[in-house]
Chains A and B, each alone.
Chain A
Amino acid sequence: MKIAISSTGETLASKVDPRFGRAPYFVIVEERPEDCLKIDALKNTAADAAMGAGTDAAQQVVRERIEAVISGAVGPNAFEIFEKLGVEVFLARGDMSVKEAYEQFKQGALQRMRIKRL
């Protein structure tokens, strides 16, 4: 499984960035055979965009063929993109490290994000 976590930095020790579209990095965690994790950092080129950061950032992370996203909040536009691709979104707090958020996700302790449409 491969997931993206919005992050303030490039490592597992970095704090989760509660913003999705404007997070400076996404830490990509990929589970490999034999309990091995591959960690990559993706720089978010949309972080300082005047508009459309959410859709642009979503486009960047889905190119990584991820199956889930962990962030503090995902806007409706980015969420629509994830929904279309069947990527699930899970919510973490900004005071967690990326590692903590990943561990809680594995334990099933993170809440799955849903959007109520009118």
Chain B
Amino acid sequence: MDTPITITIASGKGGTGKTLVATSLVLSLPEGVQYLDCDVEAPNAHIFLQPQWEEELKTGLVVPRVEAAVCTACGECNRVCEFKAIVVIVDKVLVFDELCHGCGACSYICPSDAITEIEKAIGIIRKGRARNGIRFLQGLLNIGEPMATPIIRRLKKEAATNARITLRDAPPGTSCPVIESVEGSDFTILVTEPTPFGLNDLKLAVGMGRELHVPMGVIINRADAGDDRVHRYCGKEGLPILLEIPLKREIAQGYADGQTLIDILPEYRDRFQGVFARIQEEVRHAGK
């Protein structure tokens, strides 16, 4: 029996095909894979995998509230706040909820015990079952809320620990929400395209992955669209190219219609199984 494996599908650049890859990979694998849609600002994998929702949880942060009658405006809370979400002006304390990361330092340090913490909802977690017995989890950040990372952290906590295979569909970029999505995974697939933007952002994503010590491989989408610089970069950096997907009108058309790549071109099922086998090999190799 293989050990459980968690694979994150990320990219530097947005719109390169993370969800295209992740939704087809999950459908090419045996039943019962767990799928986490970590792109909590704009989750869209449910459009392709069509889960039946079974459960919905509110999730949020604890933010401070100051009791004015007890507060001495000593400024200790502001001093320890990394994000200056709590500000002392003359004799008043102001809290900026949108800046607060919920660390609790202010209430811990307050010498007058003037600070209590309240739960503030910033989004939801949905759980359900999708095609192929997929255990589907989605995070959704409330509109207007700036901080995605706490939702992703909660999404990872809510994930079943007994799943043999877990896929995490990450948000684009290389910032905190992406790092949270990649952290703790056994392997990361970086989806890119052979364009100057694709290459630039791939380099950033590779830098991030190396900081996190996670083994990586590359899938090139729209592979015949640009030039060979992405290939040369991967060769130079020793990054395995796991799969290339050509730029084809029928893929774009079917995908826009809500079909996955293996619905559109069934021959990709074998190819994604090959990608998975290669990843297992890379993970075993990295573990040694």
Contact = CB atoms under 8 A, between A and B. Distances in A.
Contacts of B92: 84
Contacts, number: 45
Interface stretch (A7-15, A27-35, A50-58, A100-108): A50-58
B90 A55 contact: no
A81 B87 contact: yes
A60 to B, nearest CB: 10
Contacts of A85: 89-90
B147 to A, nearest CB: 10
A58 B99 CA distance: 15
A58 B85 CA distance: 12
A117 to B, nearest CB: 13
Contacts of B78: 59
Contacts of A58: 87, 89
Given A46-B84, A55-B84, A59-B78, A84 B89 contact: yes
A77 B98 CA distance: 9
A59 B81 CA distance: 13
Contact of A49 (B84, B89, B96): B84
Contacts of B90: 62, 85
Interface residues of B, number: 15
B275 interface: no
Interface in B80-98: 81-85, 87-90, 92, 94, 96, 98
A59 B79 CA distance: 12
B88 A59 contact: yes
Interface in B132-159: none
A86 B196 CA distance: 50
Contacts of B82: 51-52
A77 B96 contact: yes
Interface in A52-84: 52-53, 55-56, 58-59, 62, 77, 80-81, 84
Contacts of B89: 58-59, 62, 81, 84-85
Nearest to A52: B84
Leading 5 A-B pairs by shortest Cβ distance: A52-B84, A56-B84, A52-B83, A55-B84, A51-B83
Interface of B: 78, 81-85, 87-90, 92, 94, 96, 98-99
